[in-house]
Amino acid sequence: MPEPAPLLRLTTSWDDGHPLDRRVAAALARRGLPGTFYVPRQNVEGRPVMAEADIRALAADGFELAAHTSDHVRLPGLSRDAARRQIDEGRRWLEDVLGAPVRGFAYPGGHPGPWGRGLAREAGFAYARTTRMLCLGPGSDPFAMGTTAQIFHHGLPALLRNWLRHGGGGNRLAVLTDLRAGGGLPAAMAVLFARARRQGGVLHLWGHSWEIEERGLWAAFDDIMAMAADLVPAVGRVTNEGVSR
């Protein structure tokens, strides 16, 4: 008898709460795919954010809504008090919008800095996501959740920096090699998906809707989500919170 395929789970996450997140959510909903949206109250980098009614609508559609600081400020440059304010106010605001507890947090820019991990735990979050890529599992620290790949065609130097900055490691190098396969972003993702199917684990795809728009990646995004829907059965489709447990 052939070996049963190892369990593969899929989660996706989308940062910054841009109004185009509604387009991402509609595409995910069409395919029955999960999504976690990390939403700040406002974005000091100058990008618009969704109206509060839209945030509530995503939650009503079954997506996970999670915090991303109050103002989308990168934590490593802040004092401990300022970082705490950003984390706490972002959570309180989103809980008020949703009328429900918020369990997840993502570090703006992906890096917690010296105090981000401790502050995220003290704030009462269950987990916090980074921008560490090339992982086929969330990792052992719930306040440093890793991801697999961004919906963005990174060059080799950026992927190598991400690999090195987060400790290197052989299995992550294999994922890096997959993402450098030729033929465009969906073709590289297909190579990665084949590995994920062989190995099992958690395939965590993430991105920014505003970046998909700026880079003209909507067709690639659709192709990649179609492949993900083909690959992962309904039982394996989970929110970021679902893979943090």
Closest residue to Zn ion in the complex (CB): 15
Torsion of CA 34, 57, 116, 137, to 10 degrees: 0
Inter-axis angle of helices 21-31 and 52-60, nearest 10: 10
Tokens for 66? 């999670």
Does 21 engage in binding with Zn ion (CB under 5 A)? Answer: no
66: nearest Cα among 32, 90, 34, 43: 90
Residues 65-124 that bind Zn ion (CB under 5 A): 108
Q: Which residue from 8, 9, 11, 16 is in contact with Zn ion, where contact means CB under 5 A? A: 16
Q: Identify which of residues 9 and 68 has a Cβ nearer to Zn ion in the complex.
A: 68
Residues 151-170 that bind Zn ion (CB under 5 A): none
145: nearest Cα among 132, 163, 160: 132
Using the contact rule CB under 5 A, the part of the chain among 13-21, 116-124, 147-155, 228-236 near Zn ion is 13-21
Does 241 engage in binding with Zn ion (CB under 5 A)? Answer: no
CB of 43 vs Zn ion, minimal distance in Å = 8
Does 15 engage in binding with Zn ion (CB under 5 A)? Answer: yes
126: nearest Cα among 141, 112, 137, 139: 141
75: nearest Cα among 61, 60, 62, 90: 90
Q: Identify which of residues 123 and 190 has a Cβ nearer to Zn ion in the complex.
A: 123
Q: Identify which of residues 87 and 232 has a Cβ nearer to Zn ion in the complex.
A: 87
Q: Which residues bind Zn ion (CB under 5 A)?
A: 15-16, 108
